[in-house]
Amino acid sequence: MPPLARPATRAGARVAFLLAPAAGALILVAGTAGLLAPLTALAVGVGVVALFATAVLWHTALAIHHEEGVYAACRGAGFIGMASLATAVTCGLLLARPPAVAVWAALGLAAAAGSSVFGTMLLPGAAATVAVRLRRAFDGLGLGVSLGFAAYLVTPLHRTPWPALANTLIAAAGVSIVTVIVLRARLHRPAALRCGAGVMGVLIVLCAIVNLVLDGSAGRLVPLLGLVIVAGLTLAADGGSRRNLPERLDSRELDLYLSSYPLLAVPAGVGVVAALIHLILVGTFNTTAIALGVSMVAVLTMRELLVVSDIRRYTAQLRVKEAHFRSLVAGATDLTLVLDERLKIRWQSPAAARLFGLADAEVVGRTFLELIHPEDVAGAQAGIEALIAGEHADGPPALINARLLDGHGIWRDTESTVADQRSVPEVAALVVHVRDVGERRHLERTLHRLSYTDQLTGLANRRALMRDLLEFRRRAGQQGTLLVIDLHGLAEINDSRGRETGDAVLIEVGRRIRCLLGEDDVAARLGGDEFAVLTPDGAVLAYALATRIVTAVMEPYELPGMIVELHTSVGLAELAGGKDSEEVLRHADLARKRARQLGRDRVEWYDTDVEIQLHRRMDLERELLGAADRGELDLVFQPVVSLRDEQPVGVEALLRWRHPKLGTVLPAELLPIARAVGCAAELDEWVLEEACRRLSGWSTGGNDFWLSVNVAPRELLTARFPERVAEILSRYDIAPERLVVEVQETWIAEDVPAIVASLAGLRTLGVRAGLDDFGAGQASLAHLRRLPVDMLKLDQTLVNQRSEHATTPAVLDVVVSLGRRLGLEIVAKGLESQDQIELARRAGCHYGQGFALARPAPAERTEAYLESHRP
């Protein structure tokens, strides 16, 4: 609890608040009833209560005064306590009744009045500065002297003896000053009113008692009037103690204005009217009247001098504030306008000429709306009218965004705040602050444009694409297609040529795509190596556009000192096929992924089957890594048959993945997935070892019966592959010449020298090499002279006469003839009919493989097949 919040008295003092005034009142009642002498009862009763009040007030003053860091102006409580003590002494002096008691009584009354004035003046909240206290004192003194002068002239007061007159004037001055101080108190008004009422009651009644005693009219009326003094002392003690004060008091003087100064005219008017009445009725003024009049004039003159001093001080303060205001307004970055209720400009700040080139003659007298662009007038007027209709000066200002015409005839982007200051008497207008926001708006537009633009290519970015996609979908009946374009090979360019080269390629890709588009098409870069095109065209035109984009992107990129190539995959999705923009983009991206799975430079439409296939692909990729450990991988073997006697001479091991939920996965689907997830090498090793293990367990076939396995280039080109092959052959005791390692022709072009070296290494082990699917790719016939292969497997397109890609028998004859000249064993693959078998036999093929000869089968059935075809 803060120190000033404690009660001013302890428990005993709180009891005294009830007992001491009650005891004093009982004594005075006894004097009124005749049980005690009237003056004795007065002296004792008032003395008891005065001592109680003095103790309470002095205790309060000392307690507050000795608290550190707390407002210590409560010395006023001590002065009020001295006034209470002076009241008790004055009442005690009345018991003597000698002629000299008049002087002592007057001095006691003056002491009580002076202490009361000082006490109320020093109480918290009464007056904060010496100047304010002087004003309060002269206001009250002027009022008291004027009223005393008027009373002296128009009442029988002028016939009273001088002691009574002096006492009356002293009491009137004290009461007047206390009244002015109490009425102007800003803080703790209830306590101030209680204290002031008690002090005024004490002074008035004490003056009356002193005059009655000096006049010899003392009787039972004196103790009866003493009850009023007891009540006044009690109120003064309660209000002067000022209990439950806040921790910190506001020391600012709140009454610094001259709005209360009619008090200067009231005393003067009262005195002048009384003097005129007295002059009319009596005609002359005695010495006392003249002295009172001169005193009144002197007091009013002193108060006027204080007013002049205040005015000068206020004028100096206003001059400084005005200078500060002018400097702030002149240097402000905002234009300030003052408008009347008809929105006419009454004043503009000096910044108008500096910021907007507007002279006062061009602006003042015109309406504010005349300066605003015609297209923005309606919004500005609506905002101002809404502000005026609110009629709340303390409400939020209206914000107006409008173009303003400056002095050079240029429309400037501005932001104006309009404040309603009509309720402020000094302003009584609308105040408008205008700020030029042209640079900010330009920056906002630039940032907005940058936020929707890809900084590298200048195309729209993903955010802009989604915005335009939403707008496309909102158009009634709008068809349209979204294309998602994925580049292949950009990462390799960045790694080998540097990121600057990759950025140059991306810029050129963006330029090529932009050149192919129409006015309503939107090209965007989604990020990295992904682009998109939003077109209002339907399916046919969109597919044609995608094909042109693929062709344009495939063209070589001629950069300084180098030429690079890219490939792409494009996915298409119709705008009407998705429930929102995100789903349309997802559909196009799924189609793009499907196109990439199927190969390079492809265009794919989205449909539900695409999503099913993609989900299947993701499931397969997720499950493949653990398939061998779960025992889901399996091998089937397709026999290779001699076309001369139709006896099996070897088998080809074919991989199968028996997934429990997705079914059997064939190599055409399995191997691309394995290469994508990076486990192709592990699968090749598993196939090699499992095939050798099966071959070693067969008791048929003979030592010249061979086994062929397909190997991917990455596995073939590893340094450990020959060692791995030798280790497996040794483990299962298989002669090296019984193993044929096959490499697809389509892989040869990737790195011919490296593949030649690897195959040569295998031949040093005794392992034979074969070139699979010859005729399906673009390998040159000249490669056959370089490749160290022993076997040539012809693609089924060379012998399948019903295929749309079938070749003439002359081509088949050339290929077989070349192979035989090179000493290669020729195997015709894909023989599905007897006619194809005859065609291959006539062409000179040694061996055949296909459904017409033998279908792929598990190891057990293959062994049974070999047993049944044993020579």
Does 544 have pLDDT greater than 90?
Answer: yes
Q: What pTM was estimated for this model as a whole?
A: 0.47
CA distance linking residue 535 with residue 157, whole number of Å:
110
Beta carbons of 570 and 484 less than 8 angstroms apart: yes
Of the two residues 791 and 114, the one the predictor is more confident about is: 791
Confidence of residue 105 (pLDDT cuts 50, 70, 90): confident
DSSP string of 92-134, one letter each residue: HHTTT--TTHHHHHHHHHHHHHHHHHHHHHHSTTT-SSHHHHH
* Span 737-777, pLDDT tens digits: 889 988 887 666 556 777 788 888 888 888 898 888 887 55
Residue 862: the pLDDT is 86
Residue 251: the pLDDT is 44
66-94 confidence digits (pLDDT tens): 444 344 336 777 787 788 888 888 887 87
pLDDT(13) > 60: no
Token reading at 80? 């009020």
Percent residues over pLDDT 90 in the chain: 8
Average of pLDDT values for 773-786? 66
Average pLDDT, the chain: 78
Helix ranges, 391-498 (H):
438-451, 462-474, 490-497
Measure the CA–CA gap between 156 and 275, rounded to whole angstroms: 15
What's the CA gap between 863 and 871, in Å, rounded? 14
Predicted pLDDT at 804: 47
Min mean pLDDT across 225-229, 334-338, 752-756 is at: 752-756
Distance between CA atoms of residues 516 and 519, nearest Å: 10
Whether residue 721 contacts residue 729, with contact meaning beta carbons closer than 8 Å, is answered with no
Highest mean pLDDT among 134-138, 332-336, 497-501 belongs to 497-501
Who's near 168: CB < 8 A, 6+ residues apart? 148, 151, 157, 160, 207, 211
221: left (phi over 0), alpha (psi -120 to 50) or beta: alpha
CA distance 242 to 189: 10
- For residues 771 and 213, which has the higher predicted lDDT (pLDDT)? 771
Question: Mean pLDDT across the stretch 409-432?
Answer: 82
422 within 8 A of 428, measured Cβ to Cβ: yes
**Locate tokens 């633009």: which residue?**
453
Gap between the Cα atoms of 180 and 544, Å rounded: 99
- pLDDT for the residue numbered 514: 92
SS3 554: helix
**pLDDT attached to residue 639:** 92
pLDDT digit string, tens, across residues 152-195:
655 555 555 656 667 777 777 777 777 777 777 666 667 777 77
Note the helical H segments in 244-334.
265-281, 287-330
Kindly state the average pLDDT of the residues 594-601. Answer: 82
Give residue-wise pLDDT tens across range 259-298: 344 555 666 667 667 667 766 666 666 666 666 666 666 6
pLDDT-derived band at 509, boundaries 50, 70, 90: very high
Pairing of strands 567-574, 481-488: antiparallel
Q: Judge whether residue 224 has pLDDT over 90.
A: no
Cα gap 502→562, rounded to integer Å: 12
C-alpha angle 174-177-181 in degrees, rounded to nearest 5: 135
Strands, E assignment, 579-631: 602-605
Q: What are phi and psi of 104, to 5 degrees?
A: -65, -35
Q: Report pLDDT for 342.
A: 84
> Residue range 685-692: average pLDDT?
86
> What was the pLDDT predicted at 600?
83
| pLDDT for res 253 | 43
- Helix, strand, coil percentages in the chain from 3-state DSSP, rounded to 5: 60, 15, 25
